[in-house]
Amino acid sequence: MSKDGRDLSFARANLLGALKERSYHFVTPTPLTHARVIARRSMAADLRDVLGWSLPFERRALEAEIVELLEAANALDSANGALKSRVRVASLGDDLFLHSAFPTTQSDAVFFGPDSYRFAAFIRGEIDGMGKRERVADIGTGSGVGGVVAAKALDKHLARAATLQIMFNDINPQAIEFAMANVLAAGGLGTALFMPGDGLSGDFTYDLIVANPPYIVDGAHRTYRDGGGDFGSAVSFAWANNAIDKLERNGVLLLYTGSAIVGGVDRFKIELEKMLRARAVDVEYRELDPDVFGEELEREEYAGVERIAVVGVVATKR
């Protein structure tokens, strides 16, 4: 990352620090819920309106220090006499995560939402009692939530932050910038590395990989959302297959993704378990939420699909 990129990440981390001092809190909902809520009003009245709901605001609506921090973070647009933040800020426990402003229509948008909260809960639940893990990768990191949550869970249970190394990877340069700011703001995560591009290439190996790949068929081909292939499963399958090459013996892949259920059959589960077991990998596979993104079923691409389930996969390399 360039010096300008690092400076921007520090400026954004400073913004998050100021928000923490002010006890800022916002739970990011689904895009549909977000749209319904902001349809009720046109202008922001406080911090949550500006940085949670992405509403336009008048400069005097916020403290001067916050406006200055937003400007330093290159996070303000102006139009028709009003200002609007280019970023949102979501709460997860004691941490805050920068991500793209609503609506996330850009091809390089970085999204944080209900999947992020479920992904975090999945990681925490699996790491508890997992044992020694010192080389961790968060593949397709987005806002960095997987790596941050994994680091804090490992530190809490194993007190190993001093020797922990976590690689935050994403093909989207903007995601790397957001992740760096969020990691800086979280603090105390051991050694954090940031790798743009394909995190499953090169000579690195890991004893824990966490991943939340895109799993929806997206006609706009947004990086954070488009899973490709049949019903959005291609990226999830490829990441799982490639991750096994990067795991050390007894290494674990925690894969959080979605699966389209057709005629009561989870085809992704069948193919994934077949592939992993052929590679001497023990697999635990379960539904975490039986029905998400129901609105997608109205689209032609999902003809024949009866529901989209969120699944958690624990794959241990023997």
Shared domain check, 259 and 153: yes
* 95-115 mean pLDDT: 96
Per-residue pLDDT reduced to its tens digit, 145-172? 999 999 999 976 555 456 899 999 999 9
DSSP state for residue 128 in the 8-state scheme: T
Q: Across all residues in the chain, what is the average pLDDT?
A: 93
Shared-domain flag, residues 28 and 59:
yes
* β-strand pairing of 305-317 with 281-289: antiparallel
CATH number at residue 165: 3.40.50.150
Degrees, nearest 5: CA angle 44-48-50: 45
Residues 139 and 250 in one domain: yes
Gap between the Cα atoms of 117 and 99, Å rounded: 14
> Which of 292, 312, 311 has the alpha carbon at shortest distance from 302?
292
Beta-bridge partner residues of 285: 313
- For residue 184, pLDDT over 60 is answered with yes
Closest among 159, 125, 167 to 254, alpha carbons compared: 125
What is the average per-residue pLDDT within 76-105?
Answer: 96
- Distance from CA of residue 148 to its chain's centroid? 10
- What's the mean pLDDT in 181-190? 93
Residue 121 sits in which domain range?
A: 114-317
Are 95 and 146 contained in the same domain? Answer: no
- Determine, yes or no, domain membership for 136: yes
| Residue range 46-75, pLDDT digits in tens | 999 999 999 999 999 999 999 999 999 999
Which residue type does 236 have?
Answer: S
CB count, 10 Å around CB of 3?
7
126 and 90 together in one domain: no
> What pLDDT, on a 0 to 100 scale, did the predictor assign at position 83?
97
Encoded amino acid at 148, one letter: V
Residues 19 and 151 placed together within one structural domain of the fold: no
DSSP string covering 243-272? HHHHEEEEEEEEEEEEEEEETTEEHHHHHH
Handedness of CA 275, 247, 123, 234 (dihedral sign): negative
- Asked whether the bond before 56 is cis by omega within 30 degrees of 0, the reply is no
**Residues 79 and 155 grouped into a single domain:** no
Position 22: which residue type? R
- 32: number of CA atoms within 13 Å, CB side? 6
How many other C-beta atoms lie within 10 A of the C-beta of residue 9?
24
pLDDT of 225 above 80:
yes
